[in-house]
Amino acid sequence: FLIIAMVIGVTLSFVGGYILSGRTIVPIRKSIQKQQEFVANVSHELRTPIAVVLTNLDVVKSAPKEPVEDQMVWLDNAYDETKRMEKVVGDLLFLAKADAGQLNLEKEYLDLSYLITNTSERLMPLAAKKNISIYNTIDERTRLYADKMRLTQLVIILLDNAIKYSLENTTITISTKEERGLYQLRFKDQGVGIPVEDLDKVYERFYRADKARSREMGGTGLGLSIAKWIADEHDWRLEISSEAGQGTMVRLWIPRENIRMEE
């Protein structure tokens, strides 16, 4: 019996070893590598603002007699970077909950045009700084079956990006279209665009096509990862098309049965 047990044991460990080294090890190694990259990214994302906060607070502490206007500039810098960290941590917590399956959607038929107008108004101060106009051309009768909080979050991410990466005195248009039996919700801007080679990477966590602009505008590199999760959870498809210098179009492809026209 002992011998049989040993033979089975050796065989199992051999088979196990084979499976682990042959088929399983590679994906495990890749996933560990991804995990390590992610932790390195998070550390970097937080270390930079922490350094800026500390430097500015050090200056304030070591120069108590400097004019109050100067002190305010240093404190403002520290404040802005703290806000950035708050955003990174908030976005990461959202994605962690999403990964853990802790976010459930509560869907209802929503007045789409009203939701878009309301959400755009929240971003008006940002748009006004660059004299950007936002046009909502959605039929007021449109009702979309969606989770209100998540849809609002998705619209904020897309409009915030459209504003961040747009040039001054341009327009952002939100429109709808029906194509191939699907309903399309479109966000079009006249901004800097996304180079073709970056298009399929912008959904990755912390990936930025335009690093300098993203940082300058307070971006976290996590917005589109969140947007994609929200779209996927609704069974919608998020598609981004763009060319550098030609503006960007984000399309949400929505099943026709999620749309109802109110009389």
**Chain residues that interact with ligand ADP, rule: CB under 6 A:** 161-162, 164-165, 189, 191-194, 202, 207-210, 214, 219-225, 248
C-alpha distances in angstroms, 64 versus 52, 69, 70?
Answer: 19, 12, 10
Q: Provide the β-strand partners of residue 248.
A: 242
**Is residue 211 exposed (0-12), middle (13-18) or buried (19+ Cβ within 10 Å)?**
exposed
Q: How far is the CB of 257 from ligand ADP (least distance, A)?
A: 29
Q: Which is nearer to ligand ADP, 49 or 193 (CB)?
A: 193
Between 49 and 191, CB nearer to ligand ADP: 191
In this structure, the strands spanning 133-136 and 171-179 are parallel
Question: Nearest approach, Cβ of 44 to ligand ADP (angstroms)?
Answer: 14
Instruction: Give 116 or 162: the residue with its C-beta nearer to ligand ADP.
Output: 162
Angle 157-158-164 from CA coordinates, rounded to 5° = 85
Furthest-apart CA pair in the chain: how many Å?
A: 88
Place of tokens 């993203």: 214
260: number of Cβ within 10 Å: 11
Least Å distance, CB 64 to ligand ADP, is 36
Q: Which two tokens stand for residue 156?
A: 């904020």
Kindly state the smallest distance separating residue 139's Cβ from ligand ADP, in Å: 24
Residue number, 49 or 221, with CB nearest to ligand ADP: 221
Of 142 and 225, nearer to ligand ADP (C-beta) is 225
Q: Considering the complex, what minimum distance in angstroms separates the CB of residue 224 from ligand ADP?
A: 3
Chain centroid, CA 193 distance in Å: 17
Nearest approach in angstroms of CB 169 to ligand ADP is: 16
Which residue intervals of the chain are DSSP H helices?
2-19, 25-62, 68-99, 112-129, 148-164, 211-216, 223-233
What does the block give as tokens for 259? 């749309």
Complex with ligand ADP: residue 78 or 191, whichever CB lies closer:
191
